Amino acid sequence: MQKVKLPPPELQDENFHRDPLLRERERKKEIIERQHQISQEQQQQQQQRNNQSVPIKSQPVPQNPTPKLPPPQQQPPPQSKQDPAFVTPKSPSKIIDHGPDLDDFDDSFLFSDDIPDEAQLTNPTPAIPEQSSSTSTSVSTMFVSAKGANLLQQSPNSPNINLPQFDPKFVSPNIRRTVDPTKSVPVKRADLTSNNTSTNTSNHLKGGTAGGGRSFSPLHGGVSGKRVGMPQGAIQSKRLHVDNNIPLVDTAGPFNEVPDEYNPADSLVSLTTTKILVIGAGGLGCEILKNLALTGFKDIHVIDMDTIELSNLNRQFLFRPQDIGKSKAEVASRAILERIDDPNLKITPYFGKIQDKPREYYRQFSVVISGLDSIEARRWINATLMELVDEDTLIPLIDGGTEGLRGQSRVILPTISSCFECSLDLLSPKVTYPVCTIANTPRLPEHCIEWANQLQWARHFPDRKFDADDPDDVEWMYQTAKSRAEEFNIQGVTKQLTLGVVKNIIPAIASTNAVIAASCCNEAFKFITNSNPLLNNYMMYSGDESIFTYTYPYAKKDNCPVCGNLPKWIKAEKWWTLDQFIEELSSKQEVQMTRPSLTTSSRYLYLSNPQELEKLTRTNLSKKLKDLLIPGEEIVITDPKLPISLKVLVELVGSEVDPEFNK
């Protein structure tokens, strides 16, 4: 007789492979609905009995007051054959039958606001008296932690259990503004009893999308919106009016324990009426436009200043050879509308720079997605959206970027999370070559190519620019650089390297663009529909040796010139002149200013624009920095291309004499 090994009993369960979190939520929802149905049936039966019974006039029925329930500590346990009730702080009026014991069950589904605060454990609040209700149960309401509820479940009849109780409406001062998707944000919850039937309609973003920001509709079911408090000490923003009004967390979500709080119909309306802006229609922008249109967004705007080149066609799939020389934004919009048969879809292109539009133009959008390869443009839109923040407008910036097989996406909530300027020092520095090395002693193939590009092209063709899409121009540049390399016995000059150096080409791969674009569009969808928590807040992707992603919260910087309020300390040599200080300042990765102007509270140090003021302040460039500054004086640095101002405090170090002079 052949023995057959049966699988374990738990594997035979059809729900074994389902997510325990979803199974537990579904089970709780079924129990709550069943209890609500039983409660309604009991009310109907009681009403029928009251209608059938007619009191005798000679014997009036005395109206006795409702007997008071004993305090929670003296309340006897329920006389039921079922397992003890499990009380969750999420819905204190709901007594949920937990079924089998869950001691060995993974409690990762428990929410973060189920765990009491440290101050509450040391100073427990007194027991909250049970509220009167027509459908009251025999079990008292207790506000305990999830761990304490498990302990109460194991020993329901023990009177000696000392469980710390706490107020479920309490909000800890250490609030996490963006949390793990499996956790809930600690919130001040509205009263969920039957007496609370008012609806909070004072949402500061309930206006239409034309006012900038998202349109919200009042919540259903008599439950007001959730509002997260923020400690004043954690605010690093210049705009304090946002401290107590955070629109991004004043929303309802589908994955909580408040019945009927999330209305999918409202999310569909927001999806079809929201205006969304895409900046850049290149390799990443083509993927983003396609994803947004297929996701269901109906009103999309796109801006790009570039025209289509031959080298774009290998990865920017919306373009064809006959489109070379045309606007990327216009061709991409037309290609999407031709391929997607949707009469309600509207894509508005704009051929030009983002700086050409007034700032109020960006106020109409609910989300801005950046697919730019220009650091300057990304800094500009980041600072612009930061300046637009007020009590009615908070527009998130979803920034994506790729380089070869690596990429990143991030969600920037102006004044709340770290901005693009906070992470400026993470960017790879731009490669530059000294002119003296290029002209006299080249050592690398890149030196030879730069020599041909910067020095020889202007000498031979002073009337026209180099065209990287012209085969004759590329061949001339390659042959000139190759002859220079042969003269100095340098190997490695190729036509591909020549194009890469001359055009400063960043390698781009279609698969990486698809991954990062999907992440950006997913965050936009979550933000508009409130279907899930947003990314917190930086996701990096690497696909060179293996597929690897990592998400972490990038912290704000106190001395950020955009979202911070503290000055940045910079060390300077005592012998430096103002000109040397400006040159050193411009080369710093966290500054990256090309034409800075420097002023103090007492004088103008140097103004790069306009030309008349530049002439008046030019004499200060040759003066020593220590002679121009008062100790402890703050320098304000601006750049005409960026809508930001950098506050700097200078620490003078070293000798007052140039070390090269002593040699």
Tell me what percent of the residues of the chain surpass a pLDDT of 70: 63
Residue 437 has pLDDT above 80, yes or no: no
Q: CB–CB of 607/614 below 8 Å? A: yes
Superfamily of domain 568-662: Ubiquitin-like 2 activating enzyme e1b. Chain:  B, domain 3 (3.10.290.20)
Q: What is the mean pLDDT of residues 171-179?
A: 39
Q: Is the dihedral of CA 348, 354, 358, 360 positive or negative?
A: positive
Query: Which residues make Cβ contacts (< 8 Å) with residue 425, sequence separation at least 6?
Result: 589, 590
| Core vs surface per residue 576-609: b (16+ CB within 10 A) or e | bbbebbbeebeeeebbbbeebbbbeeeeebbbbe
pLDDT of residue 178: 39
Higher pLDDT pick, 319 / 4: 319
Least confidently predicted of 193-207, 280-294, 540-554, 623-637:
193-207
pLDDT in tens, 559-572: 888 888 888 888 88
pLDDT of residue 361: 93
Q: Which two tokens stand for residue 620?
A: 């200060």
pLDDT in tens, 530-544: 888 888 889 999 988
Q: CB–CB of 333/349 below 8 Å? A: yes
pLDDT of residue 499: 81
CA-CA distances (angstroms) from residue 480 to 439, 581, 586, 609? 14, 37, 32, 38
Catalytic member of 286, 419, 422, 436: 436
If pLDDT is split at 50, 70 and 90, which confidence band does 2 have?
low
Does residue 422 carry a catalytic annotation? no
Least confidently predicted of 48-52, 168-172, 324-328, 629-633:
168-172
Q: What is the mean pLDDT of residues 294-314?
A: 91
pLDDT of residue 246: 42
Least confidently predicted of 179-183, 219-223, 291-295, 519-523:
219-223
pLDDT of residue 538: 93
Residue 287 has pLDDT above 70, yes or no: yes
Tell me what percent of the residues of the chain surpass a pLDDT of 90: 22
Residue 267 has pLDDT above 60, yes or no: yes
Query: Which residues make Cβ contacts (< 8 Å) with residue 624, sequence separation at least 6?
Result: 574, 575, 576, 577, 578
CA-CA distances (angstroms) from residue 635 to 516, 589, 599? 39, 18, 6
**To 10 degrees, what angle do helices 283-295 and 510-529 make?**
40
If pLDDT is split at 50, 70 and 90, which confidence band does 663 have?
low
Residue 408 has pLDDT above 90, yes or no: yes
Q: What is the mean pLDDT of residues 543-565?
A: 88
| Predicted TM-score (pTM) of this structure | 0.57
If pLDDT is split at 50, 70 and 90, which confidence band does 553 have?
very high
Q: Which two tokens stand for residue 445?
A: 């193939």
Nearest Cα to Cα of residue 282 among 327, 248, 229: 327
Q: State the Cα–Cα distance between residues 286 and 17, nearest whole angstrom.
A: 38
Mean pLDDT of the chain: 72
Higher pLDDT pick, 518 / 102: 518
Phi, psi angles (nearest 5°) of residue 472: -65, -40
pLDDT in tens, 425-435: 887 766 666 66
Q: Which 8-state DSSP code applies to residue 141? A: P
Higher pLDDT pick, 177 / 639: 639
pLDDT of residue 7: 64
Element spanning 38, H or E: helix 20-52
Residue 288 has pLDDT above 50, yes or no: yes
Question: In three state form, how does the secondary structure of 247-270 look?
Answer: HHHCCCCCCCCCCCCCCHHHHHHH
Q: CB–CB of 272/364 below 8 Å? A: no
Q: CB–CB of 575/642 below 8 Å? A: no
Beta bridge partners of 188: 227
pLDDT of residue 217: 37
Least confidently predicted of 290-294, 400-404, 606-610:
606-610
DSSP codes joined into one string, 268-318: HHHHHH-EEEEE--SHHHHHHHHHHHHHT--EEEEEE--B--GGGTTT-TT
The residue type at 587: S
Least confidently predicted of 241-255, 566-580, 610-624:
241-255
First to last CA, the chain: 99
Residue 208 has pLDDT above 70, yes or no: no
pLDDT in tens, 77-110: 444 444 433 444 444 444 444 444 444 444 444 4
If pLDDT is split at 50, 70 and 90, which confidence band does 260 have?
low
pLDDT of residue 17: 63
Least confidently predicted of 60-64, 130-134, 477-481, 650-654:
130-134
Nearest Cα to Cα of residue 570 among 539, 537, 593: 593
CA-CA distances (angstroms) from residue 295 to 12, 340, 343, 401? 38, 11, 15, 21
Q: In what order do the strands lie in the sheet with 642-653?
A: 568-573, 642-653, 634-639, 597-599, 604-606
Residue 233 has pLDDT above 90, yes or no: no
The domain limits of the chain are 8-33+80-128+135-170, 435-503, 568-662
Residue 308 has pLDDT above 50, yes or no: yes
Residue 53 has pLDDT above 50, yes or no: yes
If pLDDT is split at 50, 70 and 90, which confidence band does 515 have?
very high
DSSP codes joined into one string, 332-343: HHHHHHHHS--T
Q: Is the dihedral of CA 571, 574, 577, 578 positive or negative?
A: positive
pLDDT of residue 153: 52
Do 568-662 and 435-503 fall under one CATH topology? Answer: no
The residue type at 625: L
Q: What is the mean pLDDT of residues 324-341?
A: 93
pLDDT of residue 85: 39
Topology at the third CATH level for domain 435-503: Arc Repressor Mutant, subunit A (1.10.10)
